[in-house]
Structure 1
Amino acid sequence: MKELDLIQLWVKARNHIIVSQLAPTALLIFAIAILPSMTMASLTHQMAFILVLLSSGVLGAAAQISSANEATAIAHDLRNLESKSAVSARIGATAPWLAIVKFGTPAIFTLTYIAILMQLFLGYMRY
């Protein structure tokens, strides 16, 4: 592939990473905002709440990991070009940072999810 084609693919992959983080982040913010009222909800409502968070988190993580894998491959291809621009060199140098998207972001979601579960179940046990 040509350098310009690879850069365009990189931009698309980067945009997919950004967009894939919007919905799970918004949902977590919403979940934390309504968490106090969810501790008073029925167990059925709480389970629905938990499963919606889990399914959206898994789907968001899958989209992020997939996009990060594609972006990593593109960055490696750009790094391996014989003649490349400074932009391609910079993109190639960013490949290691994509590990944050693949591992860091899902780990943070998991910790947040566990904290929400703890609050729900501890709140349910108190009342």
Structure 2
Amino acid sequence: MNERDLIELWGKTRWHVIVSQLAPTGLLGFTVWLGILNLADTSLALRISAAGILLASGILGALAQYSAATEGMAIARDLASLPVTTAAGRQVVSLAPLLNVVRFVTPAIFIVVFVALIIELFLP
């Protein structure tokens, strides 16, 4: 692949990272909103269902983020092995280490928020 192809592939991978964050973030926000409406006072089955949906969405989102970020890092390594001639190519290579935030920090934040919501749902 040439530099342009790799930069285009990087853009697609970056878009996958962004999209993979939408569902878990939306569900967490919706659950917090429901919490304001006293979700903790609903039936146990409904609370377990809400927790399960959040967990499944979070796991799938984290896997999608991790895989897209890992692919992005591989693209940057391939790009670094070429004689990069554009500022965009150099920028992709220099930003690649930040994908570790997507791989590790974002899922860690989800876990903390998920645990806080579980505590609120089941230990009010």
Tell me the TM-score normalized by structure 2. Answer: 0.96
Q: CA deviation at 1:4?
A: 0.7
- Tell me the residue number matched to 1:19: 19
Which runs of 5 or more residues in structure 2 are unaligned?
none
State how far apart, in whole Å, the 2-side matches of 1:100 and 1:72 are: 12
Question: Runs ≥4 in structure 1, deviation > 3 angstroms?
Answer: none
Describe how 1:1-127 pairs up with structure 2 within 5 A.
1-36=1-36, 37-123=38-124
In the TM superposition, residue 105 of structure 1 has moved relative to its aligned partner by 0.4
In the alignment, is the contact (CA less than 8 A) between 1:78 and 1:84 conserved in 2? no
The 3-state SS of whatever aligns with 1:39 is helix
- 2: CA distance between counterparts of 1:56 and 1:92? 31
Per-residue Cα deviation, 1:49-76 (whole angstroms, up to 9, x for no partner): 1000000000000100010011000111
CA distance in 1, matches of 2:88, 2:57: 34
Q: Distance in 2 between matches of 1:106 and 1:100?
A: 9
How many angstroms apart in 2 are the aligned matches of 1:92 and 1:84? Answer: 12
The size of the alignment, in residue pairs, is 123
Amino acid in the other structure paired with 1:68: A
Letter in 2 for 1:97: L
Q: Distance in 1 between matches of 2:20 and 2:55?
A: 15
Aligned-pair Cα RMSD in Å:
0.9
Q: Matched residues in 2 for 1:28 and 1:119: separation?
A: 13
Contact 1:61-1:106 within 8 A present in 2 as well:
yes
Give me the identity figure in percent. Answer: 46
For 1:83 and 1:101, how far apart are their aligned partners in 2?
Answer: 25
Q: Is the 8 A contact 2:84 2:90 kept in 1?
A: no
Matched residues in 1 for 2:49 and 2:114: separation?
Answer: 14
